[in-house]
A and B are shown apart, each in its own frame.
Chain A
Amino acid sequence: MPTISIFHHDLEQLLGQNANINQVETWLSLVKGELKDHNPTNGELRVELQDSNRPDLWCVEGIARQIRVSLDTKPSHYPFLTNKGRSKRRLMVLPGIEDVRPFVAACATTGYHMTELGLTQLIQTQEKLADIFGRKRQTVSIGVYRLPAISFPITYGLVKSEEARFTPLGFTEKMTPKEILAIHPKGLEYGAQLSNADHVPLLWDKDGQVLSFPPIINSREVGEVKIGDTDLLVEVTGTDLSMVLLTLNIFAVNLADRGAVIDPIDIVYPYATAMGKTIKTPLDMSISQRISLNAIEHALGTPLGSESIQQALSGYGYQVKATRHTLSVKLPAYRHDMMHVMDVAEDVAISRGYDSFTPIMPANFSVGALSPVETLSDQIRDLMIGFGFQEMFSNILASRTEIVDRMRLAGTEHGHIVEIENAMSESYSCLRSSILPFLLRVEAASPRSFYPHQLFEIGEVALPDMGVDLGSRTVGTISAIIAQPGASFSEIHSYLDLLMYYLVRDYRLEPTTHHSYLDGRVGKIICGKHEVGYIGELHPEVLEAWQINMPIATFEFQIQKNN
């Protein structure tokens, strides 16, 4: 989740009070924020925000707001969200856009003298919201413009990609959307978000001046906001109405918190949306929910009572009305994350402070136990260690080269493995189907460690099996090797025999061929009716492939009884 850069004095200004860094760090628990870094020289704080459902907190204004609400013990009031009446500005949506990027929201903001700090924070918020909340601009993208350069109404519609021309940010000459997609860095980066490159979304004003080619790039002429600008237009387009509206609300309250006056804009759709055909934005979408007091008290394990729950929620930004057994709660307009009463319960706990809840030890009795396979693994491990074998422990991703090719198994029945489709590197592109290659990796890396090397590892392997639901089975397996001059079948067989004796398993060896082993010195291990593994001396070609200069005798078998 996002890590943002904010400034101490900016935060203090937004809070309306001074606070030292320790105080700030304590307050950060209100926003699930973690202070990652603090530069005392310039007052920069790097803060990681955990809550992916609270994009309103991914900016200094939002952090300050949540703290301020808590200090004031009541929600902030934003009059532009409640004023009735038509807006003086309109944005017209044209038919056709509904299949591409159907939703837009916008507002004008006036009277805030843009500072350098305010501008960097605005840009940071724009980037974080579009990138993370808007899924790399797919569902939400944001544009900010100089208001005086725009004549209303604005139009939002689809145009042919070679018909419009404007100067995009970062360039000095006019280009068509088609050219932008072909050569502009942002066109190259985000062009894939457009399903149809022939007809593209565009925002333009009454004079035909292009504002933006969402979600790719804004116009340089009207979209380059500078320090000292006082009047802005903020617009959000996207594929999810509530996310588009929420994003605009966040920008509106952020600018309002810095002193701007917010003028809503009427968005006029040619089609019906969940919020109607004409939507005045910013729009407070949140509606009051009746929730049970009992559910909150039960979840928190404390009979807090209506009044203190009400206080806690007010002090966290909610509008609350209480009756005897229920609460009517409403989230502030910059939040849209209440799915369940448990969300409210957590806010109560955060608002009151987690430390205000006395921990209670869970008292229900339960019997602890290891799983059968783990119990068996431990039994085998104890035996092998007693036999003088060093236990190894490996990563279980490897390359096909290691698991198949070097083991001379390509094209054999043992050459099937579970492979990763989107592997990051060839070295970690397969799940192991055998542990032996991992012990050979150790042997190859450790010729200088004194001999003898008696190694084993017990753990999970994944065996492809088209007969089961998941296409593979995870199976507990043990592999052991003896690497030393004179390592022999007979020696490793003695250990296997002893192991099987103590495990009370009837087993027998059957001559077989297996490409990893020397012919005539390999056996199939059979327990009951099941073939569970192999024992033998490794083929010199396998050792050569691993660049091992020591003979190796080994066994490997699946440990579960009922496989």
Chain B
Amino acid sequence: MDTTALLDSLHPLETKVLTILKDADCPRSDTELAEATDLEPSQISMAVGWLLTKNLLALASEQITPIVSLSETGRSYHASTSPPEWILQSIQEHHERSETITVKDLQAHDYFQPTELSRAIGLLKKDQAIRLVSGGVLERTGTESPTTTALRTVLEHVAKEAQALADFSSAHQSLIRQYAVKRGSLQEPFRIEDDILRTYALTPEGQAISQLTTSQSLEEVSQLTPEMLKDGSWRNHSFRKYSISLRPPRLAVGRRHPYREFLDSVKHKLTSMGFQEMRGELVETEFWGMDALYMPQFHPARAIHDVYFVKNPTHAKSIKEPFISQVADAHEHGGATGSKGWQYPYDRERARRLILRSQGTAVSARTLANTPDIPGKYFSIARCFRYDQVDATHATDFFQVEGIVLGHEINFRTLLGLLNLFASEMAQAKEIKFLPAYFPFTEPSVELHVRHPHLGWMELGGAGLFRPEVTIPLGVNVPVIAWGLGLDRMAMVALGIHDIRDLFTSDLEAVRNMRRKF
């Protein structure tokens, strides 16, 4: 464990002990530590145990002191009388009443156990303070019993407080030992217990760590309160440390939708490249959605099974002139575009048919007709609809990122230049391929393939120069790049999604858990 981890692992109790020992000139015992830290002995014992385990603390000395204290029996001897004292007194009282007393008489009382009495009689006889005459009668000899006196002295002494055995005279010591509780003999007045006094000192590691601990021996609290800040009392507290590796509770927060956030990054990227955003309508006419893009009315992608038609109303009121006529001319014979056109009779009624926008390019067509800036760059992120079976790769509606670039400088090479820029800005790609492609409204047309750092080779988009049949009928007389980017796959991989429908999932938990990986 390195120092920081060790330091962090310290419990406040440990820190307190370390702090005391850091400043101590000699080892300290638990008692001394308890006094110095103002902690309970049990807390000190815990802290010392942990510190020993961590090898921050070592045992400096161990001193064993036998301590004498009174047993239950001893306390009763002290409070009333001890057996030899009682025997002497009983004999004396009988003697004063000119009566005799026998051992049996003594045993008839149940003040003491027979063993206690016989030991006391033995003691008194040994001291020659009594004698046993015929008939079992006890008599005093007139001699005092020094042992009885000594016993009383010791009882009085120890009753005040427990004393170290060593503090007594050797005669008293042997007396105490004689009358101390031993195994199997509980009816003894004294108890001798070993008091083990251990002292502890810091190890070199402990010394090092203790220098780093800052906590004073302060009162530990769990929460900083406004009151503490107001009166400054926080200085007198230490703050309980937390188990910071636990998982925190979850939060319900406000957050952008991850797919929308992805699209946000796209739109910000595009505005930073100088593109203006275009907006359009969800419901469009076939005219702006297809005719204006030079898709002939018989084009296979315009059939009933490719486009959603609006139920009511079915047709727009009108298409603005001169666009309807100019586009009709372009389809029929090229008009002023220099094209020979599609060579079919253009149906103006059909041009007004209302559909759900099927391609974002419709928005570009409207922009072209609305006196765009020249030079100018435009983009839209447009919701589009296709008549498709919904499955893992087909959504009912989806976003198309597309746009245009107008200017006299526009040509095939500036088109490739723009795509180069998209490759590096949108896909961080360094390797790219340009492949010939086909779109009804561009010529030349290009497919942009890039090597994405996370996805490998992928088709990033399609682009081209708008056909003059598109631009001229809409009143634009400079070359125009039309471009579209396919970013959904990138978004799906970034969000860890395998089904395109999940970009718009109704599962709140999934949305809360979704995050971008790149």
Contacts and interface: CB of A to CB of B under 8 A. Distances in A.
A365 interface: yes
Given A300-B412, A340-B337, A385-B254, A421 B407 contact: no
B276 interface: yes
A390 to B, nearest CB: 6
B283 A445 contact: no
B434 interface: yes
B395 to A, nearest CB: 7
Interface stretch (A75-83, A97-105, A407-415, A465-473): A465-473
A395 B414 CA distance: 36
Interface in B465-502: 465, 467-469, 479, 481, 501
Nearest to B410: A362
- Interface size bracket, B side: 35 or more
Contact of B338 (A340, A396, A471): A340
Contact of A474 (B256, B283, B435, B512): B283
Interface string A249-276: 0000000000000000000000000000
A388 B254 contact: yes
A355 B432 CA distance: 10
Interface in B284-302: 284-285, 298-300
Given A50-B437, A359-B419, A441-B506, A422 B410 contact: no
A446 B506 CA distance: 8
Interface in A358-402: 358-371, 373-374, 378, 381, 384-397
Given A299-B411, A301-B411, A340-B468, A391 B436 contact: no
A460 interface: yes
A454 B252 contact: yes
B420 interface: yes
B334 interface: yes
A470 B504 contact: no
A368 B395 contact: no
Interface stretch (B10-18, B123-131, B372-380): B372-380
A301 B413 contact: yes
B233 interface: no
B407 A364 contact: yes
A29 B437 CA distance: 8
Contact of B397 (A302, A355, A397): A397
Given A301-B412, A397-B385, A424-B387, A470 B419 contact: no
A397 B386 CA distance: 11
A242 B317 CA distance: 35
Interface stretch (A4-12, A112-120, A342-350): A342-350
Nearest to A451: B252
Nearest to A388: B254
Contacts of A51: 438
B316 A361 contact: no
Contact of B414 (A50, A301, A471): A301
Interface string B405-432: 1010111111011111100000000000
A394 B271 CA distance: 25
B254 A397 contact: no
B377 A298 contact: no
A445 to B, nearest CB: 4
A384 B298 CA distance: 47
Interface in A292-311: 298-302
A152 interface: no
Nearest to B466: A342
Interface residues of A, number: 94
Interface string B266-293: 0100111111111111111100000000
Q: Of residues A298, A369, A473, which shows the largest number of chain B Cβ atoms within 10 Å of its Cβ?
A: A369
A502 interface: no
Contacts of A425: 390
A370 B267 contact: yes
A529 interface: no
A32 to B, nearest CB: 5
Contact of A421 (B253, B311, B373, B433): B311
A541 B196 CA distance: 79
B377 A368 contact: yes
Interface in A451-483: 451-455, 460, 462, 466, 469-474
A422 B413 contact: no
B313 interface: yes
B33 interface: no
Q: Of residues B250, B316, B396, B507, which shows the largest number of chain A Cβ atoms within 10 Å of its Cβ?
A: B396
Contacts of A473: 281
23 contacts: A32-B438, A51-B438, A132-B300, A340-B467, A358-B413, A359-B417, A360-B413, A368-B275, A371-B277, A384-B254, A390-B252, A392-B511, A395-B397, A396-B383, A397-B397, A420-B308, A421-B314, A424-B388, A442-B507, A444-B506, A445-B508, A454-B252, A470-B281
Interface of B: 250, 252-257, 259-260, 264, 267, 270-285, 298-300, 304-305, 308-314, 316-318, 334, 337-343, 354, 356, 373, 375-377, 383, 385, 387-390, 395-397, 405, 407, 409-414, 416-421, 433-438, 440, 443-446, 465, 467-469, 479, 481, 501, 503-504, 506-509, 511-512
